[in-house]
Copies of this chain bind each other. A is one copy, B any other.
């Protein structure tokens, strides 16, 4: 569905600088965009493409001061571009409400209205599937677990027993919610398993990526707060509490009983030790290892992690040790000469 730039400016609540009657029929990345395509400049690394692109128009930040034939200036470039994606590349429709024949739904499960349960899905005794939820094929919903209204469970997800998935939650394929926490105790005879009897609670509007593992609590629940977004292959240990509106990037692991407060950003491949607290609004740089509490609004880096400026200084210092050695050698020579 084609749009004029005037119409687009209206949709994204932006200021058009250029030809409002120009027509757009698709979105594209700035390095690939051609005639009739709208693109965006969301990352300064891509600014040099402005000179080369053949895009019909570019969505830019309201403070952008470069030149292009057609610019649409907005407050939030990503948000504006999202609207274009939604317009020009409509999502596949939500499946029609239905329970596929090959699904197994226990007679003791409780089902809302307008739900979709895919092929080979298993819904065990006491599970509750709330209104409008979609559970795609080959997923498993354990005993007494609850899937919230309008949640989207992608194909091949496992939710063990006694877990609660909030409203509008999205869980991607391969993710496992509620497997046993890693708890053992060495005994004379070998190793004894500590039973894991808590659950997992995932609050509303959370998204969990693919192939994550979120262990159930030992006594109380492992919990992910409202609006938090997890990427892929993330490990949350038992009893972890993640606050609201956090970002956790791929392959990060958080050990048992640690608390992540609200609004924390954790980059990829980070490791966080158990039984610690990451303060509100803290940021952890990629691949860092956190072994102690982190104060609120602090940025941490490296392993073992320090406040980011200190860590960077440490790294620069390492790279200058050779020079320092040279200076010491020089001093030694001078002293030696004087001695002689």
Q: Which residues of A contact B (CB under 8 A)?
A: 27-29, 32, 43, 45, 76, 78-79, 81-82, 85-86, 89, 91-92, 100, 102, 104, 118-120, 122, 136-138, 140, 142-143, 154-156, 158, 160-161, 170, 172-176, 179-180, 182-185, 187, 190-195, 197, 205, 207, 209-213, 215, 218-220, 227, 229, 231-233, 235, 237, 239, 245, 247, 249-251, 253, 255, 268-269, 271, 273, 275, 286-287, 289, 291, 302-304, 306, 310, 313-315, 317-322, 324-325, 327-328, 331-332, 334-335
Q: A119 to B103, alpha carbons, bound, how many Å?
A: 9
A15 to B: closest C-beta gap in Å: 19
When the two chains form their complex, are residues A192 and B232 in contact, meaning their CB atoms are under 8 A apart?
no
Q: A263 to B85, alpha carbons, bound, how many Å?
A: 34
Q: A136 to B219, alpha carbons, bound, how many Å?
A: 24
When the two chains form their complex, are residues B209 and A245 in contact, meaning their CB atoms are under 8 A apart?
no
When the two chains form their complex, are residues B154 and A138 in contact, meaning their CB atoms are under 8 A apart?
no
Q: A43 to B256, alpha carbons, bound, how many Å?
A: 12
Q: A125 to B155, alpha carbons, bound, how many Å?
A: 15
Task: Name A37's closest neighbour in chain B (CB-CB).
Answer: B219
Cross-chain pairs A/B with CB under 8 angstroms, 12 sampled: A28-B219, A78-B183, A85-B194, A102-B120, A104-B120, A138-B138, A182-B232, A193-B229, A213-B250, A235-B268, A271-B287, A331-B331
Q: A137 to B158, alpha carbons, bound, how many Å?
A: 10
Identify which of A29, A89, A155, A170 gathers the most chain B CB atoms within 10 Å of its CB: A155
Give the secondary structure class of A's interface: loop
Q: A69 to B328, alpha carbons, bound, how many Å?
A: 58
Kindly list chain B residues whose C-beta atoms are within 8 Å of the C-beta of A82: 185, 192-195
With A29-B219, A158-B173 already in contact, the answer to whether A213 and B213 are too (CB < 8 A) is no
When the two chains form their complex, are residues A232 and B155 in contact, meaning their CB atoms are under 8 A apart?
no
Q: A286 to B289, alpha carbons, bound, how many Å?
A: 8
Copy tally for this chain in the complex stands at 3
A86 to B: closest C-beta gap in Å: 6
Q: A231 to B239, alpha carbons, bound, how many Å?
A: 15
When the two chains form their complex, are residues A245 and B213 in contact, meaning their CB atoms are under 8 A apart?
no
When the two chains form their complex, are residues A317 and B321 in contact, meaning their CB atoms are under 8 A apart?
yes
Q: A180 to B172, alpha carbons, bound, how many Å?
A: 8
- Residue from B120, B185, B268, B313 in contact with A253 in the complex, judged by beta carbons closer than 8 Å: B268
Q: A303 to B317, alpha carbons, bound, how many Å?
A: 14
Kindly list chain B residues whose C-beta atoms are within 8 Å of the C-beta of A32: 220
Closest 8 CB pairs of A and B: A78-B185, A89-B197, A317-B321, A213-B232, A158-B173, A179-B210, A176-B210, A140-B155
When the two chains form their complex, are residues B250 and A182 in contact, meaning their CB atoms are under 8 A apart?
yes
Kindly list chain B residues whose C-beta atoms are within 8 Å of the C-beta of A306: 319
Kindly list chain B residues whose C-beta atoms are within 8 Å of the C-beta of A27: 197, 219
When the two chains form their complex, are residues A328 and B324 in contact, meaning their CB atoms are under 8 A apart?
yes
Q: A22 to B159, alpha carbons, bound, how many Å?
A: 38
Identify which of A82, A212, A219 gathers the most chain B CB atoms within 10 Å of its CB: A219
- Residue from B85, B140, B197, B334 in contact with A138 in the complex, judged by beta carbons closer than 8 Å: B140
Kindly list chain B residues whose C-beta atoms are within 8 Å of the C-beta of A327: 328, 332
Q: A335 to B158, alpha carbons, bound, how many Å?
A: 70
Kindly list chain B residues whose C-beta atoms are within 8 Å of the C-beta of A269: 253, 269, 271, 289
